[in-house]
Structure 1
């Protein structure tokens, strides 16, 4: 037990087991039911970057409805991205299954220089196992992750795999800026599942960041808009390097996310700024999601298989993924 440098301990939050990783700069809390990161707090500023749902969802008791138990935060999306869907006889919920299952947790490093835990889960409706090591080093405001996704069956299967990073108060404010590598294009989401008002006109792809709006105007997607702005889901592509930065206005504090773009070549951009006044947000959400993903669209795995973007894992095979989240001064 330490109260300085790097440390790790277990806790219970509202009846849900959790693991907490800390160093001098960061405190990170992960719920072990669902693997949700519900705190990414930069301690010198007491500034949390994670968005938490205004509806107070919590992953216990379990539910087949993702939104009933969605606490907000950051989570693994696997093997279905977006809307409920059926794949080869397996019915999957919104963003199912990994975010709705209990994860095992083992401490793999625990000394003043670094702490690390290994989280593991097996999906129940598809033959996947995920192993994820989260690591925090002394004196560095950076969370590092190394993951392995394994198909444990003797048949080839598909998957959508994503990291669902959602940013909200107190970090996210109007005027925050999003920076991306050069050469990125924007693919609008084409589905009747969209809210009535959309931020970006149908068609495309469009070059990042200034894109047309449905009313014939334009919008700069690199600037986080004011509350009440239209909702949308967009897909960004063209990543030869996987990174983005999200920073408060006037060079304020920010965050940089890095990932292996060879595994997750898309970035989903989810905008919910209070314009959805029906279920599930009731006008209460102000959140920006910037989510590295293997595939698109958010209609579910069958559509990703159809458009050729779904991951395909041969029998008894694995894929490796690394990602990191770092606080920018």
Structure 2
């Protein structure tokens, strides 16, 4: 029975792409099975706060680039609407792995996913999204669940190697935040003992990272002009663009807060790194043109952003044995 109360589901389209909405008394989550399973709305209803950052270009259908019309960067960036993407099996820049050329953050973020309802009651709603990659022999699934009365989205993801060979992958949750929730002075909290690896240190072999000046203890990293930068405070518009990698999680979690907060928890044994990316207006060329004010806090299975081949070379890529399935649990909760 169709409901407009308690936990409920809605199916439809957004800008021509298949969409499903999970909603309860306190939260509304919009998901696009038609485009990578992207989360394009994460609205806390009591305060009318949407944690999703949307780019100025808005939502674009990626299907015109599925047959090679775009270069490896544009295939993702030209259709990047912000929000939250599943990234697999390549993270960051285009890369080549065992003869397969992989686009930026490819493949699953640009593919349509199948969607089936697995729970639909006043107590909880849940959908299962699934997709097979086209260039590597993987199957991805994720179940998104919302329970009545809560402000938490629960996610269980599965990555399966469907071949008889061992394979590598980068698996990440490309979660970004923007205005009006995100503003200068917002705070980021992480567990004690987390370390920061600057990007220039991450691209060197592990044995050389200490000599390259890292890792640093959270929240401090070297600043371009000397001294250190405090990463726990979201900067003013125009601050330098940057990306660093955080590791050393006994338990995977972070909180980012202004007037209210988002807490994300995940299995750090599967995704042991957190990519922290900020683009707050300093980049005035393609693709941002000075219009972005966003911070990404992205649990990942490897680093750096140079792509799968680089993660394999430095030993941080995820390894899946023949026919093995990796399972990831994640929870994103609003705390008012």
Q: Matches of residues 22-101 of structure 1 in structure 2 within 5 Å?
A: 22-32=23-33, 33-63=35-65, 64=70, 65-101=75-111
**Structure 2 partner of 1:308:** 315
Q: Say if 2:231 is the partner of 1:224.
A: no
Q: Say if 2:167 is the partner of 1:165.
A: no
**Structure 2 partner of 1:196:** none
Task: Give the superposition deviation at 1:210.
Answer: 2.1
Query: What is the distance in 2 between the residues matched to 1:23 and 1:204?
Result: 44
Superposed CA offset, 1:240-277 (max 9, x none): 100000001xxx20100000000000000001000000
Whether the 8 Å CA contact 1:62–1:69 is kept in 2: the answer is no
Task: Give the superposition deviation at 1:60.
Answer: 3.6
Task: Give the superposition deviation at 1:226.
Answer: 0.5
Superposed CA offset, 1:10-30 (max 9, x none): 111111110100000011001
Superposed CA offset, 1:30-70 (max 9, x none): 11121110000001111100111112242344424211111
Query: What is the distance in 1 between the residues matched to 2:307 and 2:152?
Result: 32
Query: What is the distance in 1 between the residues matched to 2:20 and 2:101?
Result: 30
Q: Say if 2:139 is the partner of 1:129.
A: yes
Whether the 8 Å CA contact 1:211–1:221 is kept in 2: the answer is yes
Query: What is the distance in 2 between the residues matched to 1:131 and 1:62?
Result: 24
Query: What is the distance in 1 between the residues matched to 2:213 and 2:280?
Result: 23
Q: Which ranges in structure 1 are unaligned for 5 or more consecutive residues?
A: 194-201
Q: Say if 2:19 is the partner of 1:18.
A: yes
Q: Say if 2:14 is the partner of 1:7.
A: no
Q: Matches of residues 168-317 of structure 1 in structure 2 within 5 Å?
A: 168-190=178-200, 203-248=213-258, 252-317=259-324
Whether the 8 Å CA contact 1:59–1:100 is kept in 2: the answer is no
TM-score by length of 2: 0.92
Superposed CA offset, 1:126-161 (max 9, x none): 111111000000000000001111000111110000
Superposed CA offset, 1:229-248 (max 9, x none): 00011000100100000001
Query: What is the distance in 2 between the residues matched to 1:76 and 1:58?
Result: 17
Query: What is the distance in 2 between the residues matched to 1:126 and 1:57?
Result: 27
Deviant stretches of 4+, over 6 Å:
none
Whether the 8 Å CA contact 1:187–1:236 is kept in 2: the answer is yes
RMSD (CA atoms): 1.4
Query: What is the distance in 2 between the residues matched to 1:138 and 1:43?
Result: 13
Query: What is the distance in 2 between the residues matched to 1:20 and 1:62?
Result: 25
Task: Give the superposition deviation at 1:214.
Answer: 1.7
Q: Which ranges in structure 2 are unaligned for 5 or more consecutive residues?
A: 204-211
After TM superposition, the structure 1 stretch with the greater mean CA deviation from structure 2, 205-214 or 2-11, is 205-214
